[in-house]
Amino acid sequence: MEMDTQVTVHDAMTSSVITVDPNTSVAQAAAIMSQKGIGSLIIKSNSEPEGLITESDIITKVVSLDIQASRITVAEVMTSDLIKIDPGSDLNEAARTMAKNKIRRLPVVNKGVLVGILTSTDVMTVSPELTEILVETAKMANQIEYSDNDNSVPGTCEVCGNYLDYLEEVDGKYVCEECKEELEGE
Protein backbone atom coordinates (compact mmCIF):
# COMPACT_ATOMS: atom_id res chain seq x y z
CA MET A 1 0.00 0.00 0.00
CA GLU A 2 1.40 3.40 -1.00
CA MET A 3 1.47 6.11 1.66
CA ASP A 4 0.52 9.70 0.78
CA THR A 5 3.51 11.90 1.60
CA GLN A 6 2.21 15.16 0.13
CA VAL A 7 3.61 18.21 1.90
CA THR A 8 1.08 21.04 2.07
CA VAL A 9 1.44 24.78 2.36
CA HIS A 10 0.10 24.47 5.93
CA ASP A 11 3.06 22.22 6.80
CA ALA A 12 5.59 24.86 5.72
CA MET A 13 3.92 28.24 6.32
CA THR A 14 4.57 30.66 9.14
CA SER A 15 1.32 31.14 11.02
CA SER A 16 2.37 34.11 13.16
CA VAL A 17 2.05 36.80 10.51
CA ILE A 18 2.81 40.40 11.40
CA THR A 19 0.15 42.69 9.94
CA VAL A 20 -0.42 46.44 9.89
CA ASP A 21 -3.32 48.71 9.05
CA PRO A 22 -3.29 50.45 5.63
CA ASN A 23 -2.92 53.84 7.37
CA THR A 24 0.38 52.84 9.03
CA SER A 25 3.24 55.07 7.93
CA VAL A 26 6.08 53.54 5.94
CA ALA A 27 8.46 54.68 8.71
CA GLN A 28 6.43 52.74 11.31
CA ALA A 29 6.33 49.70 9.01
CA ALA A 30 10.10 49.83 8.52
CA ALA A 31 10.60 50.07 12.29
CA ILE A 32 8.38 47.01 12.85
CA MET A 33 10.25 45.01 10.18
CA SER A 34 13.56 46.00 11.72
CA GLN A 35 12.43 45.18 15.26
CA LYS A 36 10.95 41.80 14.27
CA GLY A 37 13.78 40.89 11.88
CA ILE A 38 11.43 40.32 8.95
CA GLY A 39 11.44 41.51 5.34
CA SER A 40 7.74 42.12 4.77
CA LEU A 41 4.41 42.97 6.35
CA ILE A 42 0.89 42.04 5.34
CA ILE A 43 -1.49 45.00 5.15
CA LYS A 44 -5.05 44.33 6.30
CA SER A 45 -7.94 46.15 7.93
CA ASN A 46 -10.24 43.11 8.06
CA SER A 47 -9.63 39.37 7.96
CA GLU A 48 -8.38 39.13 4.35
CA PRO A 49 -5.03 40.64 3.30
CA GLU A 50 -5.26 43.79 1.18
CA GLY A 51 -1.60 44.12 0.35
CA LEU A 52 2.02 43.38 1.11
CA ILE A 53 4.94 45.72 1.67
CA THR A 54 8.55 44.55 1.48
CA GLU A 55 11.93 46.07 2.22
CA SER A 56 12.38 46.32 -1.53
CA ASP A 57 9.13 48.32 -1.87
CA ILE A 58 10.39 50.77 0.74
CA ILE A 59 13.72 51.19 -1.02
CA THR A 60 12.37 51.51 -4.57
CA LYS A 61 9.13 53.39 -3.90
CA VAL A 62 10.13 55.64 -1.00
CA VAL A 63 13.85 55.95 -0.26
CA SER A 64 15.04 56.09 -3.88
CA LEU A 65 12.49 58.82 -4.60
CA ASP A 66 13.57 60.76 -1.50
CA ILE A 67 10.07 60.63 0.02
CA GLN A 68 9.87 61.09 3.77
CA ALA A 69 8.77 57.69 5.11
CA SER A 70 6.78 59.21 7.98
CA ARG A 71 4.60 61.15 5.52
CA ILE A 72 3.46 58.25 3.35
CA THR A 73 1.28 55.27 4.26
CA VAL A 74 1.86 51.64 3.45
CA ALA A 75 -1.37 51.68 1.41
CA GLU A 76 0.30 54.11 -1.00
CA VAL A 77 3.26 51.83 -1.76
CA MET A 78 2.05 48.29 -1.05
CA THR A 79 1.59 45.59 -3.66
CA SER A 80 -2.16 45.20 -3.77
CA ASP A 81 -2.71 42.60 -6.49
CA LEU A 82 -1.76 39.76 -4.14
CA ILE A 83 -1.39 36.20 -5.26
CA LYS A 84 -2.71 34.07 -2.41
CA ILE A 85 -2.73 30.35 -1.72
CA ASP A 86 -4.88 27.94 0.28
CA PRO A 87 -3.25 26.15 3.25
CA GLY A 88 -4.27 22.77 1.83
CA SER A 89 -2.44 23.36 -1.46
CA ASP A 90 0.52 21.17 -2.35
CA LEU A 91 3.91 22.73 -1.56
CA ASN A 92 5.09 21.89 -5.10
CA GLU A 93 2.20 23.97 -6.47
CA ALA A 94 3.18 26.85 -4.16
CA ALA A 95 6.82 26.71 -5.32
CA ARG A 96 5.71 26.72 -8.96
CA THR A 97 3.36 29.67 -8.29
CA MET A 98 6.18 31.62 -6.66
CA ALA A 99 8.59 30.82 -9.47
CA LYS A 100 6.11 31.58 -12.25
CA ASN A 101 5.18 34.95 -10.73
CA LYS A 102 8.73 35.80 -9.60
CA ILE A 103 7.64 36.34 -5.99
CA ARG A 104 9.13 35.17 -2.70
CA ARG A 105 6.08 35.48 -0.43
CA LEU A 106 2.55 34.06 -0.61
CA PRO A 107 -0.18 35.06 1.85
CA VAL A 108 -2.01 31.92 2.96
CA VAL A 109 -5.77 32.49 3.06
CA ASN A 110 -8.44 30.02 4.18
CA LYS A 111 -12.05 30.98 3.36
CA GLY A 112 -11.19 34.68 3.21
CA VAL A 113 -9.15 34.71 6.44
CA LEU A 114 -5.38 35.23 6.57
CA VAL A 115 -3.92 32.19 8.33
CA GLY A 116 -0.22 32.47 7.46
CA ILE A 117 2.49 33.41 5.02
CA LEU A 118 4.68 31.13 2.94
CA THR A 119 8.12 32.39 1.96
CA SER A 120 10.68 30.90 -0.38
CA THR A 121 12.82 30.26 2.70
CA ASP A 122 9.96 28.23 4.24
CA VAL A 123 9.76 26.16 1.04
CA MET A 124 13.52 25.55 1.02
CA THR A 125 13.54 24.64 4.71
CA VAL A 126 10.70 22.11 4.55
CA SER A 127 11.38 20.74 1.09
CA PRO A 128 14.99 21.30 -0.01
CA GLU A 129 14.39 19.45 -3.29
CA LEU A 130 12.13 22.33 -4.37
CA THR A 131 15.06 24.72 -4.00
CA GLU A 132 16.12 23.90 -7.54
CA ILE A 133 12.78 25.16 -8.91
CA LEU A 134 13.20 28.47 -7.07
CA VAL A 135 16.89 28.81 -7.95
CA GLU A 136 16.39 28.05 -11.64
CA THR A 137 13.56 30.56 -11.85
CA ALA A 138 15.66 33.17 -10.07
CA LYS A 139 18.41 32.59 -12.63
CA MET A 140 15.94 33.02 -15.48
CA ALA A 141 14.39 36.15 -13.96
CA ASN A 142 17.80 37.72 -13.34
CA GLN A 143 15.97 40.94 -12.41
CA ILE A 144 18.79 42.72 -10.58
CA GLU A 145 22.48 42.25 -11.28
CA TYR A 146 24.48 42.55 -8.07
CA SER A 147 27.47 40.48 -9.05
CA ASP A 148 29.75 40.18 -12.04
CA ASN A 149 29.28 36.42 -11.82
CA ASP A 150 26.46 35.20 -14.10
CA ASN A 151 25.88 32.25 -11.76
CA SER A 152 24.65 34.34 -8.82
CA VAL A 153 21.09 33.84 -7.54
CA PRO A 154 18.99 35.15 -4.62
CA GLY A 155 18.43 32.90 -1.61
CA THR A 156 19.56 31.82 1.83
CA CYS A 157 23.27 31.14 2.30
CA GLU A 158 23.68 27.47 3.18
CA VAL A 159 26.58 28.28 5.53
CA CYS A 160 25.59 31.37 7.55
CA GLY A 161 21.82 31.28 6.92
CA ASN A 162 21.54 34.92 5.83
CA TYR A 163 19.19 35.80 2.98
CA LEU A 164 20.91 37.73 0.19
CA ASP A 165 20.00 38.78 -3.33
CA TYR A 166 23.10 37.03 -4.66
CA LEU A 167 24.60 33.65 -3.83
CA GLU A 168 27.16 31.62 -5.71
CA GLU A 169 27.49 27.86 -5.92
CA VAL A 170 30.61 26.52 -4.24
CA ASP A 171 31.10 22.77 -3.83
CA GLY A 172 27.38 22.16 -4.39
CA LYS A 173 26.25 24.76 -1.84
CA TYR A 174 24.77 28.19 -2.46
CA VAL A 175 26.78 30.64 -0.35
CA CYS A 176 27.26 34.37 0.12
CA GLU A 177 30.46 36.17 -0.90
CA GLU A 178 31.83 36.18 2.66
CA CYS A 179 31.26 32.45 3.22
CA LYS A 180 32.61 31.74 -0.29
CA GLU A 181 35.90 33.42 0.66
CA GLU A 182 36.06 31.42 3.90
CA LEU A 183 35.36 28.14 2.06
CA GLU A 184 37.93 28.87 -0.63
CA GLY A 185 40.46 29.90 2.02
CA GLU A 186 40.28 26.51 3.76
Binding residues for Zn(2+): 157, 160, 176, 179
Binding residues for Fe cation: 157, 160, 176, 179
Q: Is residue 2 part of a domain?
A: no
Q: Is residue 38 part of a domain?
A: yes
33-43: per-residue pLDDT in tens?
Answer: 999 999 999 99
Average pLDDT score over residue span 14-30: 95
Q: Is residue 161 domain-shared with residue 120, that is, in the same domain?
A: no
123-180: per-residue pLDDT in tens?
Answer: 888 876 665 656 665 555 554 444 444 556 777 777 787 777 777 877 777 788 888 8
* pTM of the entire predicted model: 0.66
* CATH value at residue 40: 3.10.580.10
CA distances from 89 to 55, 68, 133, 180 (A): 27, 40, 17, 36
Binding residues: 157, 160, 176, 179
Q: Is residue 132 part of a domain?
A: no
Q: Is residue 121 part of a domain?
A: yes
- CA–CA–CA angle 116, 55, 13 (5° rounding): 20
- CA–CA–CA angle 91, 74, 112 (5° rounding): 40
Q: Is residue 155 domain-shared with residue 108, that is, in the same domain?
A: no
Q: Is residue 111 domain-shared with residue 71, that is, in the same domain?
A: yes
Domain extent for 14: 9-126
The total number of structural domains that make up the chain: 2
Q: Is residue 38 domain-shared with residue 82, that is, in the same domain?
A: yes
